[in-house]
Homo-oligomer: A and B are copies of this chain.
């Protein structure tokens, strides 16, 4: 349809919000114009009016010198097929960019949902933006019909169509896709939607125009396996599913699973099958939630610690149990889901994220790309991911250092007499009155603090103490003078809450009336020791990294993992869990490893980034460093040096503030060897 007013000069097109602008030849479609200017507008069908993805809003068509004219006169009129799409849009200024030819000046606004490079906000982690650039995408093509006397074969003709219509060259096709190719091509008159992996392989061919490719990010923790189902086109998180890692049945900590794999005839196979089975169930569950079919999941990214990844891949983890802790493979790996017996799309790929070293695995690389400290200009960032082991990352773009600290499971409530997982009834918050030494606390599943329970009985009585609770109570005990810096209870303070068995004190945190079992909940001398050892290992790891990196000051601390999300930064610092830092620069980011898996799932460039960054991080082996042991011993006290924590000056007790028992000979306690667990 020719323009009623052919302009003398080539029309001028501006795209918002990018503001890119250029003269284009009259008759160019808005989609072609956009591609010319590097403005990425989504299009799956390539201008065939079957996908409706390239909607743009015509803001203004009259910024030329010719005076004000109606915008629509500067574009070819919508065809009937386009109008059918536009009726769904609820906005009369919308057009499909592929079908609107430019006859005069146009200003077009590309709404977020029409941008090819979508961005999503990752809410859990400080509102970080993820650019959606998935490894798998769908394209719609129309293929030449087979003809007598032409022998390219259906795959040859599809290749030619993909090269011509989508510039996809040198493709291969996976066998399951080839098996259905001929019927798909003939079902809808030689029009098909092709699912392409990494611009290099066709993994599915479906008749006609079809939408929907999904991906699964999986974080395989020692205790919990979490799966995140994402729409690969929009980046949206559609469903989350989590389950206990069934390998717990074969050993609570990593070391016992390594032993199980080695000592039992089919130990590795059993644990491998158990985790695969769990992932299959989580995939099915997430697909049900999102109302998609499991076989629409075409891509997956897995993270986990090195032992979990070894078992996932069917590799005996025995080497990770003893020095020199050799990985089978440090690089990431691209596998067929079917080779792992995963029930996803038959052509689905699985990317295993790379590891850094024997004790810093794909999960830490997930944290790495989620937080991207290696992009920091000058700020020095410390990232602590506390699980059964603590992985520590330190640095910025000038250099990154990592280590694994053998904290043991105390922070998770294990090795604590009344310790428990973070579940209803677990004490998670504690304050101790400075004068009465009586505690106030709050349990998970109950909003109110315990000092208001007398009005109405709480929903959950006290069942135990979880990780964050034990941190807080020990820090509070120290702040209120009930604990001495060396971790002994203070016999110089008289309190009904302090009980003694010889020289070993204990503190009554919850009375029998407050407790579900009717038994008092105590914090014991041994509990304090266990936490001291764990926090000393963590602190020593961080301190060793600072030394190796030549860093004396930390600008920002990020606490990753479930435990990191619940602990109070101030108490963590009082206890000497983390080095000194401005308190408002300490943040929790939740499951950053899972976030990293999700980022790699949605953005193929981030996968390459992970491969490049993982070996670039300097890994410091704490197990063999004599300085680690020195730091560890020095970090046993609570907090070991007052002047190491300038940001706690106003909080920490000063000499003479509390009564202290008579001095006694100081005993050295040496660091334990590495404890893999």
Contacts and interface: CB of A to CB of B under 8 A. Distances in A.
A626 to B, nearest CB: 13
Interface string A472-505: 0000000000000000000000000000000000
Nearest to A338: B339
Interface in A540-591: none
Contact of A182 (B148, B156, B173, B315): B315
Contacts of A183: 316
Contact of A154 (B175, B327, B356): B327
Contacts of A325: 148
A250 B155 CA distance: 28
Copies of this chain per assembly: 2
Interface stretch (A329-337, A392-400, A530-538): A329-337
Given A323-B148, A621-B149, A173 B329 contact: yes
Given A178-B313, A179-B314, A153 B621 contact: no
Given A175-B335, A316-B182, A324 B148 contact: yes
Interface string A624-661: 10000000000000000000000000000000000000
A101 B152 CA distance: 56
Nearest to A617: B151
A329 B205 CA distance: 14
Nearest to A318: B182
Contact of A179 (B156, B315, B323, B619): B315
A184 to B, nearest CB: 11
Given A179-B313, A315-B182, A155 B329 contact: yes
Nearest to A339: B175
A150 B329 CA distance: 13
Contact of A326 (B146, B173, B315): B146
Contacts of A358: 151
Contacts of A324: 146-150
Contacts of A156: 329-331
Contacts of A148: 323-325, 621, 623-624
Interface string A257-285: 00000000000000000000000000000
Contacts of A192: none
Contact of A330 (B147, B151, B323, B356): B151
A69 interface: no
A293 to B, nearest CB: 21
Q: Taking each of A147, A151, A181, which has the highest tally of chain B beta carbons within 10 Å of its own beta carbon?
A: A151
Interface in A327-354: 327-331, 333, 335, 338-339
Contacts of A623: 148
A357 interface: yes
A674 B338 CA distance: 42
A319 interface: yes
Contacts of A323: 148
Nearest to A148: B324
Nearest to A340: B175
A330 B175 CA distance: 14
Interface in A290-321: 313-316, 318-319
B624 A153 contact: no
A330 B153 contact: yes
Contacts of A328: 153-155, 178, 181-182
Nearest to A306: B153
A152 B315 contact: no
Nearest to A320: B182
Contacts of A154: 319, 326-329
Nearest 5 pairs of A and B residues by beta carbon: A146-B326, A153-B330, A153-B327, A151-B357, A148-B324
Given A154-B327, A175-B314, 15 more contacts: A146-B324, A147-B324, A148-B324, A148-B325, A151-B357, A153-B331, A153-B355, A154-B329, A155-B328, A175-B313, A175-B333, A178-B313, A179-B313, A181-B315, A182-B328
7 contacts: A146-B324, A151-B327, A153-B329, A153-B355, A155-B328, A178-B333, A182-B318
